[in-house]
Amino acid sequence: MQSTTVRVEEMRVKRQDAEQWMSHRMLPENLKRRIRHYEQYQWQENRGVEEEALIRNLPKDLRRDIKRHLCLALVKKVSMIHNHVSPHNFFYQTFV
């Protein structure tokens, strides 16, 4: 994994590129603000690690297991699923 310092620099460059592109395309301020907000949200969520790209390159069975791990707590919170379907069966039926 890259160090946080390197990812911060990459994010800075990405933000600068986006600003130049938005200026070149003469986007209205409300669209620029929405783009900036989205980029900030993405950074706060994953600190510069592109999770989707990382996961997409993994084998299918490993992707399935990661999805199961990341979503299991949410599935358990949904009472309809929790009361009627075991989380293991839910994921098996959903991802297999």
Query: Could you count the other beta carbons within 10 Å of the beta carbon of residue 35?
Result: 16
pLDDT of residue 52: 80
39/63 same-domain check:
no
44/63 same-domain check:
no
pLDDT of residue 81: 54
| Domain encompassing residue 43 | 4-49
Count structural domains, the chain: 2
14/38 same-domain check:
yes
22/43 same-domain check:
yes
63/91 same-domain check:
yes
Spatial distance between the Cα atoms of 9 and 31, rounded to a whole number of angstroms = 24
pLDDT of residue 96: 44
DSSP 25: T
pLDDT of residue 83: 58
Average pLDDT across each block of 10 residues of the chain; the chain has 96 residues. List them in order.
74 90 94 92 78 85 86 70 56 52
45/69 same-domain check:
no
**Alpha helix stretches (DSSP H) within 1-96:** 4-24, 29-46, 51-56, 60-77, 79-84, 87-95
